Structure 1
């Protein structure tokens, strides 16, 4: 599969990389890191990254603004995105050839070529494997970006998706001379408004049956603290260390929907996410609800899953 991907990269003069909307460190790390490696390996190619900017992760890099014309003869690579609904910038359809690289369960195998492997901790880790197998060169910039992706999706190597291979590949990255202290400072810094919202969350979340944590943030809450629904995602694990919790859920009201962020320490929760217009990993998933009554259904299913 890696050979096929490299053949396509060599074939096209223009490569455009996408990832999912509301990006996290793995989405940006795999997209930007892979783009940088391609640029360094094939300096004569045009390589672009597209999608919305995420202010909290702006230190990782910026997106390109490109015209539709660039897609006409382009190879499009979508990183870290399980389904087409979540792909940021719908022009991905306009390319000549489409590759999907992802570590989520392959529930929607879109594109001309799929490299999907849930045994990897992150898509960034998959890109490290590709670099290693294809004999491409890492430098400090690409190493930092891919390290950010692995750190983000493994919870700083604390989650069960951290394998011996994950650590080995991460070691290849830290061999490059980037400043880990500065990276972690940038990754975990919080605006004052987020810190104040975190205090509110810690006061207001509830625990059901001693094992299911629940937090609901309304549009009024977000307006009060001047925080967007995307920014609130930084707090999804704010109360995860409470003793006895098996699963927890954040409900965040957006313009016309309620975003559902699900996390678990054991019970499988992505099956519940798929019932509500979502999906993800067995212990980290996202979904969408369209009423507060629907969120009650989700909570009850989490209670059942936790028994």
Structure 2
């Protein structure tokens, strides 16, 4: 499969890379990391990454802005995106050929060609594996910029190497990447430093979350609360792991109200929660998933189901 992807990439002049909406470090790391590898390897090709920019990831890079006609005849590669509904920039359908590279369960097997590895810690780790294959087949080139982005993606999706998805291969890959010239301290500061108002919201979460005797927990963050603390809905993604520090917790949900929906961010220390996310149009990993609901009544339904899962 990797050989087919490499051969396909070599055949196209224009390559446009997509990732999922509301991107995280792995979405940026895998898509932009691949872009930098391909730019270094094929300087004559036109290579872009598209999608709405996430301001909290500005420290990594920013997407390209393309016109519709630039998609004609292009190779489209989508990284870190389980289903077509979550692909950022729906112009992905305007290309000539579509490749999916992902590590989520392959419930939506879209694309003319796809490589899915649910055992990988991150798609950034998969992109490094693809690079290693390409190095032998087509003299692919790594560079400092790509190494920095891939390392950020791996760190982000492994929770700084603390999640169960972290493997020996993950550490080996990270060890190879840090041989390149980039400032890890600066990178970690960009990933984990937060403004004071976000820390105040974190304190609110610790004071007001609810947990039952079975270790099921949740916190509701309505629009009014976010406004009180001066925090955007997207910024709350930096806090979703906070409750993992609570002794006795098994699984938890953070409900974040936006203008048109309520984001459901699920995390777990053991119970499988991605099937619950799928019931509400979402999905993800067994221990880290997301979905959306559209009323506080639905929120209460999700909480009841989480409690049953944890019993």
- TM-score w.r.t. length of structure 1: 0.98
Q: CA separation in 2, counterparts of 1:69 and 1:122?
A: 32
Q: How does 1:145-294 map to 2 (within 5 A)?
A: 145-294=149-298
Q: CA deviation at 1:181?
A: 1.1
Deviates more, 1:294-303 or 1:63-72: 294-303
Q: CA deviation at 1:210?
A: 4.8
| Aligned residue in 2 for 1:4 | 4
Q: CA separation in 1, counterparts of 2:248 and 2:207?
A: 18
- Conserved 8 A contact 2:103-2:118: yes
Q: How does 1:85-164 map to 2 (within 5 A)?
A: 85-135=85-135, 136-164=140-168
Q: CA separation in 2, counterparts of 1:49 and 1:30?
A: 10
Q: CA separation in 2, counterparts of 1:278 and 1:239?
A: 21
Give the aligned length: 307
1:92-141 deviation digits (Å, cap 9, x = unpaired): 11111111000000010111111111010000000010001111222211
Q: How does 1:56-71 map to 2 (within 5 A)?
A: 56-71=56-71
Equivalent position SS for 1:159: coil
1:180-236 deviation digits (Å, cap 9, x = unpaired): 111111110112221221122121111122501211000111122222211111110
| Aligned residue in 2 for 1:74 | 74
Find runs of 4+ consecutive structure 1 residues off by over 4 angstroms: none
Q: Is 1:15 aligned to residue 15 of structure 2?
A: yes
- Conserved 8 A contact 2:265-2:290: yes
Equivalent position SS for 2:63: coil
Structure 1 unmatched runs, 5+: none
- Conserved 8 A contact 1:209-1:303: no
Equivalent position SS for 1:119: coil
Q: CA separation in 1, counterparts of 2:234 and 2:112?
A: 31
Q: CA separation in 1, counterparts of 2:194 and 2:113?
A: 39
Deviates more, 1:264-273 or 1:2-11: 2-11
Q: CA separation in 2, counterparts of 1:95 and 1:195?
A: 43
| Aligned residue in 1 for 2:28 | 28
Structure 2 unmatched runs, 5+: none
- Conserved 8 A contact 1:80-1:101: yes
Q: CA separation in 1, counterparts of 2:72 and 2:78?
A: 17
Deviates more, 1:120-129 or 1:178-187: 178-187
Q: CA deviation at 1:54?
A: 1.1
1:303 maps to which of 280, 288, 307: 307
- TM-score w.r.t. length of structure 2: 0.97
Q: CA separation in 2, counterparts of 1:61 and 1:162?
A: 25
- Conserved 8 A contact 1:50-1:89: yes
Q: How big is the alpha-carbon RMSD for the aligned residues of Structure 1 and Structure 2?
A: 1.0
